[in-house]
């Protein structure tokens, strides 16, 4: 069921089928952390108007978004027993629209990763091929939508954490403008980079979800005060729109199947009236994307998670002194990968290093964003392939962590949108050997309307709207 479909009067039966499918698929894909008891939600729903936009629609939620009385672990051992006493703002909005929260989904621990391999509950498997990864950190949300269990799932995106899994799992993945959706109640990774977004199977559904979830929130000082537009009424339109193809990314991709499909898309957009031109960014700045991201994100994460010490909440390990208790709790509570990131963050925030590492990284980020906006001053959007390959195996994903120029640019270009706060979307355009792949499109900040107009035309090109595992 697509979320824009007419009201399903048998919503209870549909929701129960959803829960059963999630339970059946838990062993196959390991995408869920908690499958919810929905009885109270369903009873509350019966007293609400039946014409609500999400009435009876089951929605999956990434496990770093607070849900009242539902365990929220961020896929970390240290939060294994954490049950929030309140809903995040985005959850409140979904419930007010008639949605039912059916499960909490697996993720890279605390959002720190791009593979969904380091979750406390184990790796998540790609529904298209269980030997492949889903990508991360929102991989569990991607998997439950790609499997067909739900039609929409919430994710968060700190550095392509929605859009890369969408590319690997054949989905539409939206990261809106920074501040468009409140982050109140979201367990943070890096506050200046974090965004809440969605996985759907159609661009229209993504637009509808944004319309429902966007809006100012006094509990989030970074949330935008702009009026929420009717994004769901937007239609495909590229006539006269200037679209830049990011040449640096395309030149660092070697897969001819992906490149040929992308070039066919470019020709299609031109025939539909778009002006599509290649542009290049400063290569040095693009190679600096990943190291700059790692410095800033890990520094902010170190500060954000200093409260995870076993004292106020979460799993607590014993110790002879308060200091030893905290050391034991954090040592056993976090994976080696997360502890390593905290060490990186602490090192860059140390008073002896802050100016030459953390402050310098923020200056480099500003240079990158300034260079990006020079392009967006002239173009309505920037287009490129979302990644250089289809979903890799875990071994291939680990081996990708080499810092070659090709890897640094082709696999990390979507960090541009996190650095700048620009809205961005991943849309599937084809398959290679039964594995999906997609494009990444960004527009200027607050211009989701143009983002959807172009994306809908891309969807017309691909003819993949709403399709799940059919190829």
Name the residues annotated as catalytic. Answer: 62, 137, 161
Of the candidates 94, 74, 95, the one whose C-alpha atom is nearest the C-alpha of residue 83 is 74
Enumerate residues 6+ apart whose C-beta is below 8 A from 190.
158, 296, 297, 298, 300, 301, 304
Strand order in the sheet with 435-443: 32-35, 100-105, 58-62, 152-157, 195-200, 172-175, 424-432, 435-443, 381-385, 242-246, 275-279
Of the candidates 422, 432, 423, 428, the one whose C-alpha atom is nearest the C-alpha of residue 386 is 428
438 by DSSP, 3-state: which?
strand
**353-391: string of b/e by CB count within 10 Å (b at 16+)?**
eeeebbeebeebbeebbeebeebbeebbbbbbbbbbbbb
Maximal C-alpha separation, the chain: 72
Cα–Cα distance for residue pair 117/133, rounded to 1 Å: 8
Does the CA dihedral 329-333-339-343 come out positive or negative? negative
- CB-facing half-sphere around the CA of 117: CA atoms within 13 A: 17
């Amino acid at each position: 069921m697509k979320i824009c479909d007419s009201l399903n009067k048998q919503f209870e039966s549909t929701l129960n089928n959803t829960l059963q499918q999630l339970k059946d698929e838990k062993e196959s894909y390991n995408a869920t952390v908690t499958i919810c008891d929905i009885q109270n939600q369903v009873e509350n729903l019966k007293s609400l108007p039946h014409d609500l936009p999400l009435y009876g629609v089951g929605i999956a939620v990434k496990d770093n978004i607070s849900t009242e009385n539902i365990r929220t672990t961020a896929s970390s051992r240290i939060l294994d027993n954490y049950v929030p006493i309140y809903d995040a703002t985005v959850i409140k909005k979904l419930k007010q629209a008639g949605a039912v929260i059916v499960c909490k989904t697996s993720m890279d621990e605390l959002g720190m990763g791009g593979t969904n391999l380091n979750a406390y509950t184990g790796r998540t498997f790609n529904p298209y091929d269980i030997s492949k990864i889903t990508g991360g950190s929102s991989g569990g949300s991607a998997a439950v939508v790609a499997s067909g269990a739900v039609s929409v799932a919430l994710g968060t995106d700190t550095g392509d954490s929605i859009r890369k899994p969408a590319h690997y799992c054949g989905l539409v993945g939206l990261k809106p403008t920074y501040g468009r959706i409140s982050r109140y109640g979201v367990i943070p990774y890096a506050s200046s980079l974090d965004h809440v977004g969605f996985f759907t199977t159609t661009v229209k559904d993504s637009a509808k979800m944004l319309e429902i979830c966007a809006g100012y929130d006094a509990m989030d000082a970074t949330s935008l005060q702009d009026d929420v537009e009717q994004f769901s009424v937007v239609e495909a339109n590229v006539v006269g729109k200037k679209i830049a193809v990011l040449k640096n990314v395309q030149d660092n991709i070697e897969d001819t199947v992906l490149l040929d499909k992308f070039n066919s898309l470019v020709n299609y957009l031109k025939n539909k009236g778009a002006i599509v031109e290649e542009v290049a960014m400063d290569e040095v700045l693009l190679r600096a994307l990943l190291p700059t991201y790692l410095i800033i994100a890990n520094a902010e994460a170190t500060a954000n998670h200093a409260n995870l010490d076993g004292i106020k909440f979460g799993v607590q390990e014993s110790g002879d002194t308060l200091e030893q208790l905290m050391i034991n709790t954090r040592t056993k509570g976090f994976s080696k990968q997360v502890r390593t990131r905290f060490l990186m963050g602490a090192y860059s925030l140390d008073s002896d290093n802050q100016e030459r590492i953390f402050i310098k990284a923020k200056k480099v980020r500003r240079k990158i964003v300034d260079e990006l906006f020079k392009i967006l001053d002239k173009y309505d959007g920037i287009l490129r392939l979302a990644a250089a390959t289809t979903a890799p195996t875990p071994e291939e994903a680990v081996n990708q962590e080499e810092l070659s120029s090709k890897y640094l640019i082709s696999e990390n270009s979507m960090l541009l949108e996190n650095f700048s706060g620009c809205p961005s979307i991943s849309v599937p355009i084809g398959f290679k050997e039964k594995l999906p792949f997609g494009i990444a499109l960004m527009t200027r900040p607050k211009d989701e309307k143009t983002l959807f107009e172009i994306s809908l035309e891309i969807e017309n090109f691909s003819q993949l709207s709403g399709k799940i595992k059919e190829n």
